[in-house]
Structure 1
Amino acid sequence: MINSGDTVIIGVDGGGTGCRVAIGTSSDGVLSRAEGGRANAASDAALAVKNIVFTVEDAARLAGISEAALSQATAHIGIAGILGTEDSARIASALPYKTITVTDDRPTAVTGALGNQDGYLLSVGTGAFAAANKAGEFTFLGGWGFYVADQGSGAWLGRAGLEQVMLCHDGLADHTPLTRALFEKFGGDPNELVSFSMSAKPGDFATLAPDIIAGAHAEDPWGQAIMKKGADHLIRCLARLGFRTGDTLCLTGGIGPHYAGYLPESFLSGRMQPLGSALDGAFQLASSNATQQLESN
């Protein structure tokens, strides 16, 4: 049971493969966490809202937080697919909490990983982006979504894998053990593969990424080549952000750490483990917002 004077804090991290929620109070911190369905505002905004609400309710029940207290909460919602203020406002207006900030998932990832310190982030999961934090100012590259960006991401790897399979099937490239294994997931039937691709969301493509990473680790030539291609893009992003040898670098997301072996060794001299997750960042930002509100009253 929470104290009546406590502000309920909600942090949400949503993406193409799932939604994660941390809930707690301003005085006690995180009390419980829950996971739910995918929450990508660009792919399906209505589904994103539905899954956020359900997952927050699950976390609230675990923490013993009432519906009335939940309605007075301060929330920071960091989800993939937010493309501007109109998207943020539309998602915020559909959620039943008192104070809501909606951003894309980049600020929450940087805050969670680096805290308040300067450094660089390569966040690579279903999607991908690079970021720099310099004296509290964030600069981002990428994160524009699967259809026009997200190079190196899980979704990008999965789609690249299926593209290579079809090239091999047409005799325009040579099969490797990895491409044969990917093809077998569709029964060796190109029509099944194409049917999958016509309706697949980024998160669906990303389910193939672990196979590609494992294949590259097993020295499959195509697997290694596509991982190197993804790494080359990430290296260009770091250079554009001003990264220099020795600077703090953090690799996060389900795919990010797997790129360490494809980056120049000198880039890893200042590598740090993330201080927290994007979910931790969302909760931290919501807590900061709640504190500022109290101080301004």
Structure 2
Amino acid sequence: MSSEDAIVCVDLGKTRCRVTAWGPDGRSSDADGPGLPGLAVPGAPERTAEALRSLVTGLSPAVVPTSFGIGAAGALSAPDGAADLANRLARAFDAPVAVASDIVTAHVGAFDGSAGVCLVAGTGAVALAVAPDGRTSRRDGRGLLAGDVGSGAWIGRAGFRAAEMAAAGAAAPTALSGLIDTGDAAVARLTAAPSDAAFLARHAPAVLSAAEAGDATAERIVHEAVEELAATALAAALPTGQRTVSILGGLTGSDWFRHRLTAALAARDLTTRAPAGTALDGARIIATLRDLPLEGFIHRA
């Protein structure tokens, strides 16, 4: 790869951080790291900049970034933090930086910068609709304490509670009791950090697995999650008149869950389409184009 022309693209969520540096010949250098709580957390821009510096300087083959496109959790609710992160990285690498919310880069990637509704069902949950004239509508993405309804963290928390109550004899027996650790150490961790979305989201696969196998408690949790996610997508879609939805996020790695969610969207007269690309593709687009319908949500330095 020619290090002189590397576009560094970042998809930074609360569970995982992915970095890809694209060279002019189409080859890439890639790195993975842990996610971060989000740019709305005090001190997050500084910690995020340091984490990204470490990942970028550790890329192999080595690159010298000529531009950055970054989708980061929390950028919509903390625009000052997004601008701070852009400025820090621009100074550190002497390169232009574009920072937006991870839902913005997901939407840009899913629809190649055009109109539509993007529903992200990952650690968190958020829907963003964009009309051809640039009007936008966002629903949820408010964090676990205020929202993220139907997300991986929301499902994991519901599963944890169900397993705990069943173990205590306060609810019907469930397979979740044997799949989710509700011991003192786990409870202590949640007590210390009740909004630790990444920790709670780790329990979501167990809930999905139990639901697919027919466990009634897990099925109830998943049914409610799917209904809430579909309602979030519809609420975002209606003000913009858009009816086409692309679904992204870690929960869609389960074919069974994705099919359930697709059916719930169809019941609301919403059509699903496969994403044109990923959030990393969206990050690459915001790094190279400045005339996007979502330009107002992108912080540049």
Report the TM-score, using the length of structure 2 for normalisation.
0.81
Displacement after TM superposition at 1:99 (Å): 1.4
| Residues 196-235 of structure 1: pairs in structure 2 closer than 5 A | 196-199=189-192, 201-235=196-230
| Residues 39-188 of structure 1: pairs in structure 2 closer than 5 A | 39=36, 40-43=38-41, 45=44, 46-59=46-59, 61-62=60-61, 64-65=62-63, 69-70=64-65, 73-82=66-75, 83-95=77-89, 96-97=92-93, 98-135=95-132, 136-182=134-180, 185-186=181-182
Kindly indicate whether the alpha-carbon contact (under 8 Å) linking 2:163 and 2:174 is maintained by their aligned counterparts in 1: no
Distance 2:242 2:271 in 1: 5
Higher mean C-alpha displacement, 122-131 vs 36-45: 36-45
Displacement after TM superposition at 1:48 (Å): 2.6
Displacement after TM superposition at 1:100 (Å): 1.6
Kindly indicate whether the alpha-carbon contact (under 8 Å) linking 1:245 and 1:269 is maintained by their aligned counterparts in 2: no
Higher mean C-alpha displacement, 264-273 vs 139-148: 264-273
Displacement after TM superposition at 1:246 (Å): 9.9
Displacement after TM superposition at 1:272 (Å): 1.4
Distance 2:74 2:54 in 1: 19
Find the residue that maps to 1:165 and give its secondary structure. Answer: helix
Displacement after TM superposition at 1:279 (Å): 1.2
Letter of the 2:217 partner, please give it: W
Report the TM-score, using the length of structure 1 for normalisation.
0.82
Kindly indicate whether the alpha-carbon contact (under 8 Å) linking 1:231 and 1:259 is maintained by their aligned counterparts in 2: no
Find the residue that maps to 2:58 and give its secondary structure. Answer: helix
| CA 1:269–1:106: 2 relative to 1, 3 Å | closer
| CA 1:92–1:246: 2 relative to 1, 3 Å | closer
What CA RMSD, in Å, does the superposition of the two structures yield over aligned residues?
A: 2.9
Structure-1 residue corresponding to 2:259: 260
Displacement after TM superposition at 1:58 (Å): 2.8
Which structure 2 segments of 5+ residues have no match?
296-301
1:239 aligns with 2:238: no
1:278 aligns with 2:279: yes
**Deviation digits for residues 251-277 of structure 1, max 9, x if unmatched?**
111114624314334458732111111
Kindly indicate whether the alpha-carbon contact (under 8 Å) linking 2:105 and 2:282 is maintained by their aligned counterparts in 1: yes
| CA 1:146–1:158: 2 relative to 1, 3 Å | same
| CA 1:89–1:242: 2 relative to 1, 3 Å | closer
Letter of the 1:115 partner, please give it: D
Percent sequence identity over aligned pairs: 28
Structure-1 residue corresponding to 2:288: 287
**Deviation digits for residues 8-37 of structure 1, max 9, x if unmatched?**
322111011111112124x44562222112
| CA 1:204–1:137: 2 relative to 1, 3 Å | same
Kindly indicate whether the alpha-carbon contact (under 8 Å) linking 2:153 and 2:197 is maintained by their aligned counterparts in 1: yes
| CA 1:55–1:134: 2 relative to 1, 3 Å | same
Distance 2:170 2:81 in 1: 42
Distance 1:47 1:155 in 2: 23
Letter of the 2:10 partner, please give it: V
Displacement after TM superposition at 1:105 (Å): 0.9
Higher mean C-alpha displacement, 217-226 vs 76-85: 76-85
| CA 1:217–1:3: 2 relative to 1, 3 Å | closer
Higher mean C-alpha displacement, 156-165 vs 213-222: 156-165
**Deviation digits for residues 121-163 of structure 1, max 9, x if unmatched?**
2111111101212214442111122221111111111111112
Kindly indicate whether the alpha-carbon contact (under 8 Å) linking 2:98 and 2:286 is maintained by their aligned counterparts in 1: no
**Deviation digits for residues 175-228 of structure 1, max 9, x if unmatched?**
21123422xx34xx3x23311313452111111111111111111111111111
Displacement after TM superposition at 1:248 (Å): 2.0
Find the residue that maps to 2:166 and give its secondary structure. Answer: helix
| CA 1:93–1:53: 2 relative to 1, 3 Å | same
Structure-2 residue corresponding to 1:295: none
| CA 1:164–1:137: 2 relative to 1, 3 Å | same
List structure 1 segments (4+ residues) > 6 angstroms apart after TM superposition: none
Distance 1:210 1:120 in 2: 25
Distance 1:158 1:121 in 2: 23
